Structure 1
Amino acid sequence: MQRLQLRFRLVPFLLLMTILSQSLGALGASAANGGPAAVTLQPADNNPVVPANAQLSVTFDEAISRGTAGTVLIKEVASNNTVGSYDIATDMTRLSISPNNQLNILPAPGALQAGLDYYVQITPGSLVGSSGYFGGITDATAWNFHVIAADTTPPAVSAFAPSSGDAMSATGALSITFNEPVQAASGSIQIVRRDTQDAQVISVLSSAVTGSGTNVIRVQPPTRLAASTQYDVLIDNGAFVDAVGNKFAGISGPYIWSFSTTASAVAAPQFIYPARGAAAVNGDAPITLQLQFQTGMKAGATGNITVKKGIEQRDGGNDSRQLFAHYL
């Protein structure tokens, strides 16, 4: 009887220990759930029209690097057969990491067959970021897709904005509309001033270029363009690629995409004192320069007003020095 009573008394204690153990385990799992998170899958999960020559990619919320061990597996759904197995630590041919926090997966030729369904898995801990190890993709339904015939057609431009020959504000943005979604790959966009051939060179992977993964790429020139000026836009071959890696041919010459900037909305100032071309201004005394604009103005973040010595004239042995203000 005493044994039986003791056993009943132990039950709550064992139950408490079990709950505590599970709680601690849950806390440990939660603490280990840090690390980079996958924010975009290309192709998206359940995509029904993935070309057989598609490149796959995972974009993360932070920079990633290769771990010391781990594998990317591509498996056919119906048979569960592995059609691609790539070691993350050592495979530099089929796996690459882009500066935009992206793991790129290039299946071997013939790995994906039209008409079949596939899924992708990534070993937990095989990628590492500043916040820890990637938790991996282990579920057979987390990233799957249906394959269609291969795509060999490069992306083409549907529209430029501004259209070639049109005008835009000197502070405006450029945009390129493609006939299919494209990814920024490598290279640059150049905005070339036609009269001087000065160019802004903008990396397609910089923050000035947005819209990667969509049909519309937007380019915001980091430096303000000159008003009332003509420009040409050049784009490197392969700067943008489609979902399977087909390269956009780019723009290699002038007059293909050209535009002009509109006149500045701010009229030139009037010089109140000293007046433009004024003579006999006493340069030895303090001078307060006065300019009058047609609209309200405020100081900008950068720039200078420089006063330079101008032409020195002599009249009957008397020096008359003219001062000219140069405004930047």
Structure 2
Amino acid sequence: MSGMRNKSFVPKILHTRSRNIRYKTVHFQEDFFMTRFRAISLFLIVAILLQMGAVTVSPKSAAAASAGPILKSQSPANGSFITPDRGIRITFDENVRKGSGNIIFGSEVYPVATDDVHIQWETTKTILIKPTDLAVGQDYSVILEAGAFIGVTSGLPSAEYDLGTFSVRSLGVLDVFDETVASPYYPENGAVDIDADKSVALKLYFNQSGMKIGTGNVYIKKYTDNTIAQTIKTSTTATKISNATVGEVPVSFTSIPMSKLANSTKYYVMIDPGAFVDEYGNPFPGITNKEEWTFTTEELFDTVAPTASNFVFISSGASIPRAD
């Protein structure tokens, strides 16, 4: 009898396990289909909101979402001064080719697909936008239309980019100042009591960034007779060029080391045209006016050691006479 009960017990166990497996399978299928249903519903809701305008996507986000070419850098930056001969360099994060959009430079329209004069390819990632006939004193806005470039790898169009606004100036010295920089020159024009007992570095601020050392000299001349006190060759000395921001404007400045100067002497500074150039090789016009940058060194201090001019012998206990 015990053997018979054991045989009837086995089918019951197998039947129970089979029913549990079917139950789990059904629930797994239900969970799988519910997950897909929720995902599809969420996608449809987002699509409807986008269509209604309830959700917006910025150009940068759109570019990232599409995986098309993204603008990585531009030079000069928004708000910079540019010269009439200077362009704007843009670089993408991937190789690009010509698209169907335009580059809008002020009121001018440059079709990327056909304009090889204003749109110059330096590499497959870097493009130079080279405008013509810019008016000094005018401001120009620059916009890259959507689809102006196509990613070689992604095959997708670039988004729209606003490169900013640029003021056209002739290449020269800085004319915008703030609390940190009050003059384009150091020492300031007309400064007095400049230390002559140690080396002083001249400092000159330009009205745009990206300046470089060119070919030419800086002259320190005596104001009285125009003789040259020092000649500094910019390309072979410790002359340095740095970039800075003055009044939110990107600029460059140079530091020009001088040797010691004579005391109580008025000097003026002259600079050869082309001694400094912008990043495209356009020359700084130089300084040729005697009155533009002058300074005077401090007076000479008394450096003569005192000597005795008279000797008086005083006996012991006598009072010492006072020298008048």
TM-score tier by shorter-chain length is 0.3 to 0.5
Query: Which has a greater percent of strand?
Result: 1
User: Computing the radius of gyration over CA atoms, which structure comes out larger, 1 or 2?
Assistant: 2
Name the TM-score, length of structure 2 as normaliser: 0.41
User: Which one has the bigger helix percentage?
Assistant: 2
Q: Please report the TM-score for the alignment, with normalisation by the length of structure 1.
A: 0.41
